[in-house]
Amino acid sequence: MPWDGDALAERMEEVLERQQAAADARAHRGTSTAEERQRSATFESLRVSRSRIVTQLNLATNPAHRTMLERALKSINDEMAGAE
pLDDT in tens, 11-44: 777 777 877 777 777 766 666 677 887 888 888 8
Look at residue 8 in the predicted model and tell me its pLDDT.
65
Is residue 56 assigned to a domain?
yes
Look at residue 32 in the predicted model and tell me its pLDDT.
67
Is residue 13 assigned to a domain?
no
How many structural domains is the chain composed of?
1
Is residue 84 assigned to a domain?
yes
pTM of the model: 0.60
Asked whether the predicted pLDDT for residue 67 surpasses 90, the reply is yes
Mean pLDDT, the chain, integer: 81
Domain that residue 66 falls in: 33-84
The H helix count followed by the E strand count for the chain is: 3, 0
Q: Which of 3-7, 45-49, 73-77 is predicted least confidently?
A: 3-7
Look at residue 28 in the predicted model and tell me its pLDDT.
65
Rounded CA-CA distance 54/9 in Å is: 13
Is residue 1 assigned to a domain?
no
Is residue 14 assigned to a domain?
no
Q: To 5 degrees, how large is the angle CA 69–CA 14–CA 55?
A: 25
Is residue 2 assigned to a domain?
no
